[in-house]
Amino acid sequence: MLYRAMDYLLERQEELEKEIFWSVSTLLNLEVDLLFFDTTSTYFETENQTDLKKRGYSKDNLRYLQRAGGHYIVGRKLKSGEPAAELALARKGHYTQIKENLRAREVSLGGDGEKRKRLVLVRNSDEEKKQLLVRQQIVETIEEMLEKINNRKGHAHTKATCALKSHAVYGKYVKELQDGRLKLDKSKAADESRYDGKFLIKTSDDTLSLRDVVLSYKQLNDVEKAFRTLKTTLDLRPNYHSKDERIRCHIFLCFLALVLVRIVENKTKRSWPSVRQEMARLFLGELIIEKQHIQQLTELTKNQKEILAKLGIAEPQSIVDIR
């Protein structure tokens, strides 16, 4: 029954997508002049490859967009070690003020025409201060841990040393000396400061101003949050279906759920986790009085009433059923 329902839904996917687009545009008063894509991936465990399921890790979406005549604005990882990222950091130049906390400068690489890479290095002063503070706290914590570890001997010392060296956050800031003691790697901490508050943007569109590139990319934060919701809260991956059509329908169902999540967030001005947490406090209890079974909801809280009102949902009756 479930698979038949998925097949039925997939047959009407295109029609539903059009209706959803126009309905959401009207509901949220949206004007669509810029489309955002998140080049996320899902994965499968299968022995059979198809056009949909291929081995490896693909991010070929940019070439696909350009082939269709479009342009892209994408973020590049500064810490990736890519030559372009290192050159963008190393190049000296004047930053242009975009907003109170945002400055940016353009870096062009690779000559003219299609070979040219238009990169924009952005500096966020608020994030810079925040990341500096976090790293200072990390360094202070490591120094306290090192003092305790280096005073230990034998098995306790070895165990604590291994734990610190393999730590996901602290490990990269320590190095081991020839005598087995650990020391804070100050050069690593200094190197990390190069990235504080900075992010790198790459675009294929030469018609956009520096300001438009930066502000357009900042809007991608919402898109990236949405796809994080898809991959975690809504279980986009891993995908346990084997047939291509079921895989497509699974992704479409996750998309429908995401649309509902975004509508709730836009209408209530709250994050989805906070809405879900608040509404999860509503319970259904069953009372037995003189052989009668009464199902009753707990009293709505002020926040629950506000959420329902903003979503245009009538408050439920306190008494659900009497048998």
In a domain, 287, yes or no: yes
In a domain, 74, yes or no: no
Task: Quote the pLDDT of residue 280.
Answer: 93
Number of domains the chain contains:
1
- Sorted by sequence, the CB contacts under 8 Å of residue 49 that are 6+ apart come out as 55
Q: In angstroms, how far is the first alpha carbon of the chain from the final one? A: 31
In a domain, 174, yes or no: no
In a domain, 313, yes or no: yes
- Cβ-based neighbour number of residue 250 at 10 Å: 19
Task: Look at the alpha carbons of 13, 16, 20, 21 in this order and tell me if their dihedral is positive or negative.
Answer: positive
Query: Could you give the CA distance from residue 124 to residue 195 in angstroms, rounded to a whole number?
Result: 11
Q: What is the pTM of this model?
A: 0.59
Distance, CA of 187 to chain centre: 30
Query: Could you give the CA distance from residue 121 to residue 94 in angstroms, rounded to a whole number?
Result: 11
Query: Could you give the CA distance from residue 98 to residue 199 in angstroms, rounded to a whole number?
Result: 14
What secondary structure does DSSP assign to 145-191, as a single string?
HHHHHTT--HHHHHHHHHHHHT-TTTGGGEEE-TTS-EEE-HHHHHH
Task: Quote the pLDDT of residue 78.
Answer: 83
- What's the domain range around 308? 278-322
In a domain, 203, yes or no: no
Structure tokens at 71: 């342009």
Which residue has 């199902």 as its token pair? 295
H or E element at residue 253? helix 244-268
Asked if residues 43 and 240 have their Cβ atoms less than 8 Å apart, the reply is: no
Task: Quote the pLDDT of residue 146.
Answer: 87
In a domain, 298, yes or no: yes
- Cβ-based neighbour number of residue 202 at 10 Å: 21
Q: Of 122, 18, 119, whose CA–CA distance to 72 is shortest?
A: 119
Query: Could you give the CA distance from residue 85 to residue 82 in angstroms, rounded to a whole number?
Result: 5
Task: Quote the pLDDT of residue 109.
Answer: 76
Structure tokens at 164: 């610190």
Task: Quote the pLDDT of residue 6.
Answer: 84
Instruction: Cite the beta strand spans of the chain per DSSP E.
Output: 73-76, 96-99, 102-109, 117-124, 174-176, 182-184, 198-203, 284-289, 292-297, 319-322
Asked if residues 214 and 120 have their Cβ atoms less than 8 Å apart, the reply is: yes
In a domain, 301, yes or no: yes
Query: Could you give the CA distance from residue 234 to residue 239 in angstroms, rounded to a whole number?
Result: 12
Taking the chain (323 residues) in runs of 10, the rounded mean pLDDT of each run is 83 89 78 63 66 62 67 80 83 89 86 71 91 91 86 70 86 84 86 88 87 81 66 63 79 84 89 91 89 90 95 91 86
Q: Of 59, 45, 39, 48, whose CA–CA distance to 239 is shortest?
A: 45
- Dihedral of the alpha carbons of 122, 127, 129, 133, in degrees to the nearest 10: -130
In a domain, 215, yes or no: no
- Cβ-based neighbour number of residue 174 at 10 Å: 19
